[in-house]
Protein backbone atom coordinates (compact mmCIF):
# COMPACT_ATOMS: atom_id res chain seq x y z
CA UNK A 1 0.00 0.00 0.00
CA UNK A 2 1.21 3.44 -0.89
CA UNK A 3 2.00 6.06 1.76
CA UNK A 4 0.60 9.60 1.49
CA UNK A 5 3.36 11.68 -0.04
CA UNK A 6 1.41 14.88 -0.69
CA UNK A 7 3.36 18.08 -0.16
CA UNK A 8 1.93 19.81 2.90
CA UNK A 9 4.05 22.94 2.60
CA UNK A 10 2.67 26.34 3.45
CA UNK A 11 2.70 27.16 -0.27
CA UNK A 12 -0.10 24.66 -0.95
CA UNK A 13 -3.73 25.77 -0.79
CA UNK A 14 -4.79 26.09 2.83
CA UNK A 15 -6.88 23.23 4.18
CA UNK A 16 -8.34 25.44 6.89
CA UNK A 17 -9.36 29.02 6.14
CA UNK A 18 -10.79 30.76 9.19
CA UNK A 19 -9.25 34.23 9.04
CA UNK A 20 -12.51 35.86 7.91
CA UNK A 21 -14.55 33.98 10.51
CA UNK A 22 -12.03 34.92 13.22
CA UNK A 23 -12.43 38.57 12.23
CA UNK A 24 -16.23 38.36 12.35
CA UNK A 25 -16.11 36.69 15.76
CA UNK A 26 -13.64 39.23 17.10
CA UNK A 27 -15.87 42.08 15.94
CA UNK A 28 -18.93 40.35 17.42
CA UNK A 29 -17.18 40.09 20.80
CA UNK A 30 -15.86 43.66 20.57
CA UNK A 31 -19.31 45.10 19.83
CA UNK A 32 -20.67 43.44 22.97
CA UNK A 33 -17.64 44.20 25.16
CA UNK A 34 -17.12 40.44 25.58
CA UNK A 35 -13.39 40.35 24.85
CA UNK A 36 -12.81 40.82 28.57
CA UNK A 37 -14.38 37.37 29.07
CA UNK A 38 -12.56 35.65 26.22
CA UNK A 39 -9.51 34.44 28.07
CA UNK A 40 -8.12 31.12 26.83
CA UNK A 41 -9.35 29.44 30.01
CA UNK A 42 -12.91 30.70 29.53
CA UNK A 43 -12.95 29.86 25.84
CA UNK A 44 -11.70 26.31 26.48
CA UNK A 45 -14.39 25.85 29.10
CA UNK A 46 -17.05 27.17 26.71
CA UNK A 47 -15.73 24.92 23.93
CA UNK A 48 -15.88 21.92 26.26
CA UNK A 49 -19.45 22.81 27.18
CA UNK A 50 -20.48 22.98 23.53
CA UNK A 51 -18.81 19.64 22.77
CA UNK A 52 -20.77 18.28 25.73
CA UNK A 53 -24.02 19.62 24.25
CA UNK A 54 -23.17 17.98 20.92
CA UNK A 55 -22.39 14.72 22.73
CA UNK A 56 -25.70 14.91 24.56
CA UNK A 57 -27.59 14.75 21.25
CA UNK A 58 -25.99 11.38 20.49
CA UNK A 59 -25.68 10.06 24.04
CA UNK A 60 -28.39 7.40 24.01
CA UNK A 61 -28.60 6.72 20.28
CA UNK A 62 -27.64 3.40 18.82
CA UNK A 63 -24.77 3.36 16.33
CA UNK A 64 -27.27 3.08 13.45
CA UNK A 65 -29.46 5.89 14.79
CA UNK A 66 -26.42 8.15 15.10
CA UNK A 67 -25.54 7.57 11.45
CA UNK A 68 -28.97 8.79 10.37
CA UNK A 69 -29.38 11.57 12.93
CA UNK A 70 -28.98 14.37 10.41
CA UNK A 71 -31.93 13.07 8.37
CA UNK A 72 -34.39 14.01 11.13
CA UNK A 73 -35.04 17.75 10.70
CA UNK A 74 -35.26 18.58 14.42
CA UNK A 75 -32.19 16.56 15.27
CA UNK A 76 -30.33 17.90 12.23
CA UNK A 77 -30.91 21.50 13.35
CA UNK A 78 -29.67 20.73 16.86
CA UNK A 79 -26.55 19.05 15.41
CA UNK A 80 -25.91 22.01 13.12
CA UNK A 81 -26.32 24.47 15.98
CA UNK A 82 -23.92 22.63 18.27
CA UNK A 83 -21.35 22.06 15.51
CA UNK A 84 -21.49 25.79 14.77
CA UNK A 85 -20.99 26.59 18.46
CA UNK A 86 -18.00 24.24 18.62
CA UNK A 87 -16.46 25.84 15.54
CA UNK A 88 -17.12 29.35 16.83
CA UNK A 89 -15.39 28.72 20.14
CA UNK A 90 -12.53 26.81 18.51
CA UNK A 91 -11.85 29.61 16.03
CA UNK A 92 -12.20 32.27 18.72
CA UNK A 93 -9.75 30.38 20.94
CA UNK A 94 -7.24 29.98 18.12
CA UNK A 95 -7.51 33.71 17.36
CA UNK A 96 -7.03 34.74 21.00
CA UNK A 97 -4.01 32.44 21.26
CA UNK A 98 -2.70 33.54 17.84
CA UNK A 99 -2.64 29.95 16.56
CA UNK A 100 -2.67 29.46 12.82
CA UNK A 101 -5.17 26.60 12.53
CA UNK A 102 -4.07 25.75 9.02
CA UNK A 103 -0.44 25.37 10.08
CA UNK A 104 -1.52 23.42 13.17
CA UNK A 105 -3.65 21.03 11.10
CA UNK A 106 -0.92 20.50 8.52
CA UNK A 107 1.61 19.79 11.28
CA UNK A 108 -0.75 17.39 13.05
CA UNK A 109 -1.60 15.54 9.82
CA UNK A 110 2.10 15.06 9.14
CA UNK A 111 2.63 13.81 12.71
CA UNK A 112 -0.34 11.45 12.45
CA UNK A 113 0.81 10.11 9.09
CA UNK A 114 4.10 9.21 10.73
CA UNK A 115 2.41 7.63 13.76
CA UNK A 116 -0.20 5.81 11.68
CA UNK A 117 1.35 4.64 8.42
CA UNK A 118 -1.27 3.19 6.09
CA UNK A 119 0.55 -0.12 5.95
CA UNK A 120 0.07 -0.60 9.72
CA UNK A 121 -3.02 1.44 10.59
CA UNK A 122 -5.44 0.60 7.79
CA UNK A 123 -8.58 -1.02 9.18
CA UNK A 124 -7.59 -0.90 12.84
CA UNK A 125 -8.60 1.43 15.65
CA UNK A 126 -5.55 0.61 17.73
CA UNK A 127 -3.44 3.41 19.10
CA UNK A 128 -0.13 4.03 17.33
CA UNK A 129 1.76 2.52 20.26
CA UNK A 130 -0.06 -0.77 19.69
CA UNK A 131 0.25 -1.19 15.92
Please state the rounded mean pLDDT for residues 30-35.
98
Q: Which long-range CB contacts under 8 A does 104-108 form with residues at least 24 apart?
A: 105/15, 105/16, 106/8, 106/10, 106/15
* Percent of the chain predicted with pLDDT > 70: 92
Task: Kindly report, residue by residue over 68-109, the tens digit of the pLDDT.
Answer: 999 999 899 999 999 999 999 999 999 999 999 999 999 999
Q: Quote the pTM value.
A: 0.85
- Report the length, in residues, of the chain: 131
d(CA 124, CA 115) in angstroms, rounded, equals 13
Q: Which of 37, 46, 27 has its CA nearest to residue 86?
A: 46
Domains and CATH numbers, the chain: 19-114 (1.10.287.1080)
- Tell whether the model's pLDDT for residue 7 goes beyond 80: no
Q: Which of 82, 99, 86 has its CA nearest to residue 19?
A: 99
Amino acid sequence: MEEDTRDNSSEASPLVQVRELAGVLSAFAEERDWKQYHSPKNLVMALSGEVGELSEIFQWMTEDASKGASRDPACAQAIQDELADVLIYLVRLSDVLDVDLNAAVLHKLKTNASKYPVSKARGTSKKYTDI
